[in-house]
Chain A
Amino acid sequence: MSQPKITPSTNLTKPKLDLSSYGPFIGLILLCVIGAILNRDFASWGNISNVLTRTSLVGIIAIGATFIIISGGIDLSVGSLIALQAGVMILVLNAVFGTLGASFATILIGIVTALAVGFVAGLLHGFLITKGRIEAFIVTLGTAAIYRAVLTQLAQGGTITFTDPKLSSLFEPLYYGTPLGIPVPILVFLAMALIAGLLLNQTTFGRYVQAIGSNEQVSRYAAINVDAVKIWAFVFQALCVSIATILYVPRLGSASNGTGLGWELEAIAAVIIGGTALKGGSGKIFGTVVGSILLATIGNVLNITSLISEYLNPAVQGVVVIVVAFLQRNRK
């Protein structure tokens, strides 16, 4: 996220600060001011931590989506993937709990299960898109349907839940825990944002992701292993979903057909609001973080006030999204 440091021996000037990139941030601040005026409890720590915790699930997914979108791809399967991962994770935990009990091993198995499902799904996407030469849109549209259907089959149309309440209490700290007074999901979200920022701006992988999104041909001619970079980007996205799953499962301890419904669009919206171009090439993790918080905050402000008829709530979200997009649009 930092600008390249420039040695004093050169006459380089820093690129001019671009106000348009602060659009979502300004939007968020405005929204917070309005929220605080309408309801004093908006600014309470309880509410802020509620909103940020809520943000973190979609936010972590959106961090992965930032890479995919910068690389010029799209992943429509993340909402279904979190449902499948959550379902599989709960089923596996139900199965092992009898023998392992409330142990660290159980927690580890849960986490590994989610990561493994994510890893396989990411590889599958990456290979179908690069080696199979199918559009990412189609591949992930297809897998989205498959994941959700498999989950529904596993759930027999119902809801998969922890069979033993002790499992619930074993996992609950992963969502409800507050080390240093801050909920775990917020800490994980923050850590993921920092790691992703580093990955995008300070590693060859991040540079390649941007290069491929900017011009795939040029990247290929520049001796970049384009296919490998794309595959890893999809794996990274799916692993982000895994981490979101690990935080999601402890919240309600259940997974059903409705889990993660529409989250892919929310994640993509957060990325775009954050200033990443849908056509790829460049983008900012910080923008995505702000975009995710902004989206969650709109819903929160509407919920804690009765200004607008409940029927019109979605319209307000639509208006805010468009206004923010307007603030951060590229000047031609």
Chain B
Amino acid sequence: MAFLEFVDVIKEYGAVRVLHGVNLAIEHGEVHALIGENGAGKSTLMKILAGFVAPTSGEVKLESRRLQFSSNTDAERAGIVLIHQEFNLIEDLSIAQNIFLGRELKRGVLLNTQHMNLEAAKALARVGLQLDPRTLVRDLIVPHKQMLEIAKALSRDAKILVMDEPTATLTPVETDVLFEIIAGLKASGVTVVYISHKLDEVKRISDRVSVLRDGHLITTRETASTTQHEMASLMVGRDLEDMYPAKSIPSRKASDVVLELQHFSVPGWAQDIGFGLYRGEILGFGGLVGAGRTELFEALLGLRPRSSGTVLRHGRPIQIHNPRDAAKAGLVYLSEDRKGKGLLVDFLLFQNLTLSNLSSYAKPLLNQNAEQRALEKARDEYGIRTGNLAVAAKMLSGGNQQKLSLAKIMQLEPEVVILDEPTRGVDVGAKREIYFLMSALAAAGKSVIVISSELPELLGVSHRLIVMRQGQIAGVLEAEHLNEQEVIQYATGLKSNLGQHNPVNA
């Protein structure tokens, strides 16, 4: 009898069945990876485990006893803790206050703040964070928030710890710390369920791996005897052809430079940045989280203040004060923060699609038929998959949301497309489609800048790669020479080719 068992678990939301009788066994003390495309049912299954939702039928058994939780609090009390992909932290409370939220330590009726701060510091130390527990969560950078979530879960003495995409925002160094922690937990008898899209991590950390597809459990295998390629194929249900499209490096005559930045600085984030972008080029931007890449491009679009610098379009200086100016100059930017800055999640699909160039649908009243037609066209061109086009954007899966976002910025018919983490939270199949879309854009003569924290992706799609470190360009690398080791050396400061200063010819 397995330690933790899902028996014929079925979950329906209204008429939609998202889990079709899942049977899954997890052994005590193992690290069990759960993989599958977005919408495969991984999160739902784990939400059932953690008491957030109840199964429509079927049961979950822990040590042969049937679990029945009426809330997540029940589950946590039973030692089952789920760390969400989206942070469950209260921004305006301190680290310690967050860790002890709902189970505050008291002295009599008063809070024992000192004791909580002390305990919080210990919990932070366990995940390798050296932060003052009185710091407000608001002031933490994203990777630290992720580590705090883990510290918070650990402090709850979990027997079963479920992690949903924990490394999405972590740097390689922090990922290493996390893996050490997981190894330590495993050694002390904690069972870990690890959900991830990053198959290399799954390979590295897990003992066994289970694959979900369309609400069915496809298989559970020993990780050691399964290759990453096999995992990917199992997830999508067919053999994956090459992940990345073929590269055709565009010509690099001086007259092909469509955008050039000179001595561009963003206070606190980037200093003296200079580079050129060619027609038909895919230019990657690599570096660690916090290297200033997002901030650089937000400043370029006028979304945050910049201190100096010249921007040239086809060799002529232009002024960009806000995204409208940028759009007029043919520049568009896709934010890494899809829900916060990219899509109106409560709006219908067509309303999102046409938001940036709505005036072209107004004569002067909005022609909603034309908007609908544009949506149908975008659906076909960008492969947005949804049963019903008349739904709010939040009803789409992450990958389809991202394709909609892409379609939305392309409505402006830009020449320069800046994509910030375009595949974050997107499953393997959708990732590949996005890579091919980028390639198609470049082939059509557009220029694409892609910022990504996933090295394989950067190496796979970029014609050239600029690596940033601490707000400066650490290196400009040609596609031919690209390998992960070298990029990491530039990103971490072990290597630099800053000497060559003419950015266009770099």
Q: Do A and B bind each other?
A: yes
A12 to B342, CA, bound (A): 24
B227 at the interface (CB under 8 A from A): no
Question: For window 205-219 of chain A, which residues contact chain B by CB distance below 8 Å?
Answer: 207-208, 210-211, 214-215, 217-219
B interface size (C-beta, 8 A): 40
| Inter-chain contact A223/B372, CB cutoff 8 Å | no
A282 at the interface (CB under 8 A from B): yes
| Inter-chain contact B366/A219, CB cutoff 8 Å | no
| Inter-chain contact A6/B355, CB cutoff 8 Å | no
Task: Kindly provide the distance from the CB of B339 to the nearest chain A CB, expressed in whole angstroms.
Answer: 8
Closest to B366 in A: A202
Kindly list 18 other residue pairs between chains A and B, CB separation below 8 angstroms, not including A4-B372, A7-B369, A223-B326: A6-B372, A10-B376, A11-B388, A12-B372, A13-B388, A13-B390, A198-B365, A202-B368, A204-B359, A204-B362, A204-B366, A207-B355, A210-B347, A214-B344, A220-B303, A221-B333, A223-B324, A281-B346
B371 at the interface (CB under 8 A from A): yes
Contact with B along A207-244 (1 / 0, CB 8 A): 11011001101111111110000000000000000000
Task: Kindly provide the distance from the CB of B410 to the nearest chain A CB, expressed in whole angstroms.
Answer: 13
Question: For window 343-394 of chain B, which residues contact chain A by CB distance below 8 Å?
Answer: 343-348, 350-351, 355-356, 358-359, 361-362, 364-366, 368-369, 371-373, 376, 388-391
Closest to A13 in B: B388
B335 at the interface (CB under 8 A from A): yes
Task: Kindly provide the distance from the CB of B414 to the nearest chain A CB, expressed in whole angstroms.
Answer: 11
A198 to B388, CA, bound (A): 26
Q: In this complex, which of A211, A218, A220, A221 has the most chain B Cβ atoms within 10 angstroms of its Cβ?
A: A221
Q: Which 3 A-B pairs have the closest CB atoms?
A: A4-B368, A223-B323, A202-B365
A13 to B355, CA, bound (A): 22
Task: Kindly provide the distance from the CB of A248 to the nearest chain B CB, expressed in whole angstroms.
Answer: 31
**Taking A221-B323, A223-B324 as contacts, is the C-beta distance between A203 and B389 under 8 angstroms?**
no
Task: Kindly provide the distance from the CB of B455 to the nearest chain A CB, expressed in whole angstroms.
Answer: 26
Task: Kindly provide the distance from the CB of A2 to the nearest chain B CB, expressed in whole angstroms.
Answer: 9
A217 to B355, CA, bound (A): 13
| Inter-chain contact B390/A218, CB cutoff 8 Å | no
**Taking A207-B358, A208-B358 as contacts, is the C-beta distance between A218 and B344 under 8 angstroms?**
yes
**Taking A202-B365, A214-B344, A223-B327 as contacts, is the C-beta distance between A6 and B356 under 8 angstroms?**
no
- Residues from chain B with a CB closer than 8 A to the CB of A5 are 368-369, 372
**Taking A222-B323, A225-B324 as contacts, is the C-beta distance between A6 and B390 under 8 angstroms?**
yes
| Inter-chain contact A204/B372, CB cutoff 8 Å | no
Q: In this complex, which of A5, A223, A224, A282 has the most chain B Cβ atoms within 10 angstroms of its Cβ?
A: A223
| Inter-chain contact B366/A7, CB cutoff 8 Å | no
Question: For window 316-336 of chain B, which residues contact chain A by CB distance below 8 Å?
Answer: 322-324, 326-327, 333, 335
**Taking A4-B371, A7-B373 as contacts, is the C-beta distance between A203 and B366 under 8 angstroms?**
yes
B408 at the interface (CB under 8 A from A): yes
A331 at the interface (CB under 8 A from B): no
A15 at the interface (CB under 8 A from B): yes
A40 at the interface (CB under 8 A from B): no
- Residue of B347, B369, B391, B412 near A211 (CB, 8 A) is B347
- Residues from chain B with a CB closer than 8 A to the CB of A219 are 344, 355
Interface range on chain A (Cβ under 8 Å from partner): 20 to 34
Contact with B along A275-287 (1 / 0, CB 8 A): 0000001100000
A133 at the interface (CB under 8 A from B): no
B108 at the interface (CB under 8 A from A): no
- Residues from chain B with a CB closer than 8 A to the CB of A203 are 362, 364-366
A14 at the interface (CB under 8 A from B): yes
| Inter-chain contact B390/A221, CB cutoff 8 Å | no
**Taking A13-B390, A223-B324 as contacts, is the C-beta distance between A217 and B365 under 8 angstroms?**
no
Question: For window 35-87 of chain A, which residues contact chain B by CB distance below 8 Å?
Answer: none
- Residues from chain A with a CB closer than 8 A to the CB of B345 are 215
Closest to B298 in A: A221
Contact with A along B293-326 (1 / 0, CB 8 A): 0000000000100000000000000000011101
Task: Kindly provide the distance from the CB of A239 to the nearest chain B CB, expressed in whole angstroms.
Answer: 18
B102 at the interface (CB under 8 A from A): no
A123 to B395, CA, bound (A): 38
- Residues from chain B with a CB closer than 8 A to the CB of A222 are 323, 355-356, 408
Closest to B326 in A: A223
A-B contact pairs, 20 of them (CB 8 A): A4-B348, A12-B372, A12-B388, A13-B388, A13-B390, A15-B391, A204-B358, A208-B358, A210-B347, A214-B346, A215-B344, A215-B345, A218-B341, A220-B341, A223-B322, A223-B323, A223-B356, A224-B324, A281-B346, A282-B346
| Inter-chain contact B341/A217, CB cutoff 8 Å | yes
- Residues from chain A with a CB closer than 8 A to the CB of B390 are 4, 6, 12-15
**Taking A10-B376, A14-B390, A207-B358 as contacts, is the C-beta distance between A221 and B365 under 8 angstroms?**
no
B340 at the interface (CB under 8 A from A): yes
Question: For window 148-196 of chain B, which residues contact chain A by CB distance below 8 Å?
Answer: none
Task: Kindly provide the distance from the CB of A284 to the nearest chain B CB, expressed in whole angstroms.
Answer: 15
Question: For window 181-204 of chain A, which residues contact chain B by CB distance below 8 Å?
Answer: 198, 201-204
Task: Kindly provide the distance from the CB of B492 to the nearest chain A CB, expressed in whole angstroms.
Answer: 31
A13 to B391, CA, bound (A): 9
Contact with A along B417-453 (1 / 0, CB 8 A): 0000000000000000000000000000000000000
**Taking A12-B388, A207-B355 as contacts, is the C-beta distance between A221 and B342 under 8 angstroms?**
yes
A203 to B347, CA, bound (A): 16
